[in-house]
Chain A
């Protein structure tokens, strides 16, 4: 008897249609890439009971359990339930797996739980955004990285969030050892110089990476109490015009970022190509069509930017054109 499977429904349920007839792969989203180790055992159990015993670690920090049978989807969904609950994924009907797959797992570098360079808890912010945007069928890619090193490659995402800190300098604690200046020169953008034995920061150049703070041996440089972010927009891979995301907001805050992402869902609903295959169109191509000014109008609706936030009024992308 031939298999009778609604592939659209299966895909929306976060199952891939395999090249092997009858087979599928179950995708597990792990917002922020951070999980309790116990979940690994649950993934193993599913892989060994229903799959071929192999798990792929996805580029978006999820799991993909390979070699499962399409007819086992319901049984696997039951087994996914504790994982979905432990990772606190928004869900409509318990026991039915993931309610959507269009908005991809929100990924993050390891962040300030571990990394000395990170300027914030990336996983925490990633989970917050996941809670705000999921489930949604629209194709959104969002990623978080702790500092401008961008280990998470957030500039290849629709939304890239890069951690920043506004360096606070107390000249009375500075011994002019120049560790910050040397650090900024060799590891960052050379925004510091010594004048009259005190450090002067070029605020135009400074990217808020925080290297000066980590290098300072006397706590003359410290982090700002407020956490800041750079928001980059509409980076992408793909066949037509892969490109890096460009800066939109510099020295912005959490609330503004969450609002802008949610506003973008409204924008996409309004302007997405109704004939887009599988209802999937990269947001960047939609903005290419509407123009950035129209997008910005939607994105900033109801957003109260901080006084110190720098906004790029016009954003231009380059990248490689194959189309």
Chain B
């Protein structure tokens, strides 16, 4: 099995387009969760979101989500410095949930009102999560193995894990993987219906947390066989040392109360990387700020690392929960934390929950040179994944 390294990064986030803007926002502990402008939010408990300003440009004939994905994927490929022939053989794995639901909704809403919408019923095709991989593969001329994975909120991270397997097993030398999701009415309404949204910007691990903030974005990573990267002189951000993917098989939305699936994912990542828990200095938590997730995740982290045994933070406090994109956005944040020796904070944390036995980095980023860090992502249906990154 080959060592897998990260040689390119690309991001579109509520801080704007580009990795630079993303890291600047995270490092500053800035909150990009603001009143929603993309569609009407009247009548709902929560009217805030981590909305991407100007949706990263691109042709308006493309769906919002495709524009986010293309911008981020292009940045990652350019960052990796791959030429056209190398890109042709590159595998593509996309984590997605909403697809181009935003445009499909517009069509369906108009249809319900008896209005005509250009494009007609074919607008519905953009609903399918697989539409992004088709657009990216065509536009970026990627002709290697292609997959779209849908594991709810962990999709972006699972995509990275899938791509890592393709590289490690020698199927391809290079893969690009990540997640994308755009804000949609259905997602916004659904989480409001489940009463999981905080009317204020979310506060992960805070004693008084009241729920999530939704968001949108895209993040892609270029993964490469270490020897291939070395041979072409590529810059290496970090090594993807291992990953663990498990399923709770408990409930379609609620996590397993004892955090068993989350624990197994973290333990599997450590085992795959061949590192003890003491080697990990930072956990980029799933940290959605729902009372249930944060409590159970903290228990699981404690089971693996010991109480207080590792620094923890949730960047959802700054960018919201970008659904399928969150796992890959957080993977990028974790890598940048290793590179810059600066751990992003939990921005809105004021009163730490006494049941959470970790320093969750309230308010301000913390300088720390850690050797290994993990990123957790957990989705509806108990779909758990942990990615472990090592300094290059």
**Bound pair (A, B):** no
Chain A interface residues (CB < 8 Å from chain B): none
